[in-house]
């Protein structure tokens, strides 16, 4: 599953990473050709937060899905 998301602030990223860290499967955050692990706070914060990102989940988790929906954009 791939979802387009946007983060407004570092606190959004922290909430997202905390939820991703509870998952026992890989989750990637990407834009253009850059891909980082969604469980890496520093990895995501090093990206340009003014951009929209694509989140690719390689599994399912109800809590993470709810968090993902919070930051998803059409």
Strands 34-37 and 27-31: antiparallel
The residue segments making up the domain with residue 15 are 2-71
Q: What is the 3-state secondary structure (H, E, C) of the chain?
A: CEEEECCCCHHHHHHHHHHHHCCCCCEEEEECCEEEECCCHHHHHCCCCCCCEEEEECCCCHHHHHHHHHHECC
Comparing CA positions, the residue from 29, 31, 51 lying closest to residue 40 is 29
CATH number at residue 36: 3.30.1340.10
Q: How many structural domains does the chain have?
A: 1
Q: With 80 as the cut, is the pLDDT of residue 74 above it?
A: no
> Would you state the pLDDT for residue 22?
96
Question: What are 13-68's pLDDT values in tens digits?
Answer: 999 999 999 999 999 999 999 999 999 999 999 999 999 999 999 999 999 999 99
């Amino acid at each position: 599953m791939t979802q387009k998301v946007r983060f407004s602030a570092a606190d959004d990223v922290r909430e997202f990473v905390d939820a991703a860290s509870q998952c026992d499967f890989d989750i990637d955050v990407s834009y253009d050709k850059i891909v980082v692990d969604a469980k890496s706070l520093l990895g995501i914060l090093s990206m340009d937060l003014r951009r929209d990102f694509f989140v690719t989940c390689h599994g399912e988790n109800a809590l993470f899905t709810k968090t993902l929906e919070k930051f998803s954009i059409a």
